[in-house]
Structure 1
Amino acid sequence: MPTIKRLPTCTITLYAGDYLPPHFHVRMQDGRETLVEIATLSVLSGRIARRELAAALAWATENQALLSAKWEELNP
């Protein structure tokens, strides 16, 4: 489970051998987790409010190519 980015309120990670669609995990400091699809940045599962995900989604918007490349590397 490589950590891709640590933000002040959360951590963005990817898992090797994970299922489709390509997605990343956002884990809040209190342990709550949400899955976000890389291509669309839509929430796949989880109960974290959109406002709480704002920093993670802003970072992901600017780094979608990196997230896609890392997904392909971990999930060939």
Structure 2
Amino acid sequence: MPEISRFLGIIIKMFFDDHNPPHFHVEYQDFKAIIDIRKAELMEGYLPTKQLKLVQAWAVLHEEELLENFSTLGQDVKTWRKIEPLS
């Protein structure tokens, strides 16, 4: 599962052969979650409130890039772009 961004101990990944709706995976310490790209909402899993809010803010800022990466699922992972971290 390629890592597309990392910030403040939060790792953002996408699976090569994932399913709809468009989403990404988040890891933070021992926590794992799945975030809907279009709604920037938690779909599955758990993140502490502070980290969830940071991830949601990042997702809103980078929605277009996330959707572009998701639209290329099943293609060469090398076409995926790394996305700037939250700073």
- TM-score band (shorter)? 0.7 to 0.9
The runs of 5 or more residues in structure 1 that have no matched partner are: none
Distance in 2, matches of 1:32 and 1:43, equals 13
Runs of 4+ in structure 1 deviating by more than 4 angstroms, as ranges, are none
Structure 2, unaligned stretches of length 5 or more?
Answer: 76-87
RMSD: 1.5
Q: Number of residue pairs matched? A: 75
Question: Aligned-pair distance for 1:52?
Answer: 2.1
Query: Could you tell me the percent identity over the aligned residues?
Result: 27
Larger-Rg structure: 2
Give the match for residue 66 of structure 2. Answer: 67
Counterpart-to-counterpart distance in 1, 2:52 and 2:41: 11
TM-score under structure 1 normalisation? 0.86
Tell me the residue number matched to 2:13.
13
Matches within 5 A, 1:1-76: 1-28=1-28, 30-75=29-74
Please state how far the C-alpha of 1:41 moved relative to its aligned partner: 0.8
Which TM-score applies when normalising by structure 2?
Answer: 0.76
